[in-house]
């Protein structure tokens, strides 16, 4: 009986030790984003390389992340029967002098004169995103219309490779979008 009790105590200690050890191992982040208390998965994306055509001081890449085949930055497209009611569009811009894109991109609202003057001097050496919008089918009609495009008003986008992008965003409607998208990305040109 004493041997049985000792065996149970040893097994319990091993199990407890293993659990504590497992907690120290970082778990992979899930491919999911949360908006308005609901979790969604996006598996497809497109990337456009604008190089320095958008801002002379920065290389800029545009992303559209969604599961469907049709898309438009400003809305006006149908969702497929199995698509989640959500999509994201954003530009990531990194200083043209820094050759490699990785890390946090902080929201930078564009000044009214950005077309003539480019980005403000204060961000010329920073990784920024200047435009980001959430598309959300709020009325469940399987369409994204212009009034279902919600601008991002703040936050960060964490870029860890084109198939691993994290979000911590504030939106114009007072809600937030958080999480990570690990999508299959198709690279294309701005003309496509």
Residue-wise pLDDT for 74-94, tens only, equals: 677 888 888 899 999 999 999
Higher-pLDDT residue of 47 and 15 is 47
pLDDT for 19-74, tens place per residue? 444 455 554 578 999 999 999 999 888 899 888 888 888 999 999 988 876 666 66
pLDDT score recorded for residue 20: 44
Whether 18 maps to a domain, the answer reads: no
Report d(CA 82, CA 109) in Å as an integer. Answer: 34
**pLDDT score recorded for residue 155:** 98
Domain count of the fold of the chain: 1
Q: Residue 44, Cα to own-chain centre: how many angstroms? A: 12
Residue 30 has a pLDDT of 84
Query: Structural domain of residue 103, as residue ranges?
Result: 29-188
Of the chain, the end-to-end C-alpha distance in Å amounts to: 76
- What local confidence, expressed as pLDDT, does residue 158 receive? 96
Beta bridge partners of residue 35, listed in sequence order? 38, 177
5 located within any domain: no
Residue 23 in domain: no
Task: Report phi then psi at 119, rounded to 5.
Answer: -75, 150
Is 86 inside any structural domain?
A: yes
What pLDDT sits at residue 192?
52
So what's the pLDDT on residue 187?
84
Query: Which pLDDT value is given to residue 24?
Result: 53
Q: Residue-wise over 111-148: b if at least 16 C-beta within 10 A, else e?
A: eeeeeeebbeeebbebbbbbbbbbbbbeeeeeebeeeb
Supply the pLDDT for residue 13. Answer: 44
Indicate whether 11 belongs to any domain.
no
Q: Could you tell me if residue 104 is inside a domain?
A: yes
pTM, entire model: 0.79
pLDDT in tens, 119-173: 888 888 899 999 999 999 999 999 999 999 999 999 999 999 888 999 999 999 9
127 belongs to a structural domain? yes
Query: What are the CA-CA distances from residue 121 to residues 42, 52, 114, 169 (Å)?
Result: 35, 16, 11, 24
pLDDT at residue 16 in the model: 41
- Classify residue 136: in a domain, yes or no: yes
């Amino acid at each position: 009986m004493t041997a049985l009790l000792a065996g149970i105590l040893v097994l319990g200690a091993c199990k407890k030790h293993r659990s504590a050890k497992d907690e120290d191992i970082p778990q992979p982040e899930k491919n999911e984003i949360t908006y308005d208390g609901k979790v969604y998965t996006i598996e497809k994306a497109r990337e456009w390389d604008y190089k320095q055509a958008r801002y002379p001081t920065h290389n800029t890449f545009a992303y559209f992340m969604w599961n469907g085949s049709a898309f438009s930055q400003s809305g006006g497209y149908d969702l497929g029967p199995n698509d989640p009611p959500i999509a994201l569009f954003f530009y990531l811009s990194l200083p043209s002098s820094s050759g490699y894109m990785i890390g946090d991109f902080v929201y930078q609202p564009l000044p009214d004169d950005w077309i003539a003057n480019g980005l403000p001097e204060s961000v010329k050496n920073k990784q920024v995103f200047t435009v980001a919008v959430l598309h959300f089918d709020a009325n469940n009609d399987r369409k994204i219309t212009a009034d279902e495009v919600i601008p991002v008003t703040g936050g960060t986008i964490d870029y860890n490779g084109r198939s691993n992008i994290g979000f911590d965003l504030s939106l114009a409607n007072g809600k937030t979008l958080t999480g990570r998208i690990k999508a299959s990305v198709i690279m294309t040109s701005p003309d496509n």
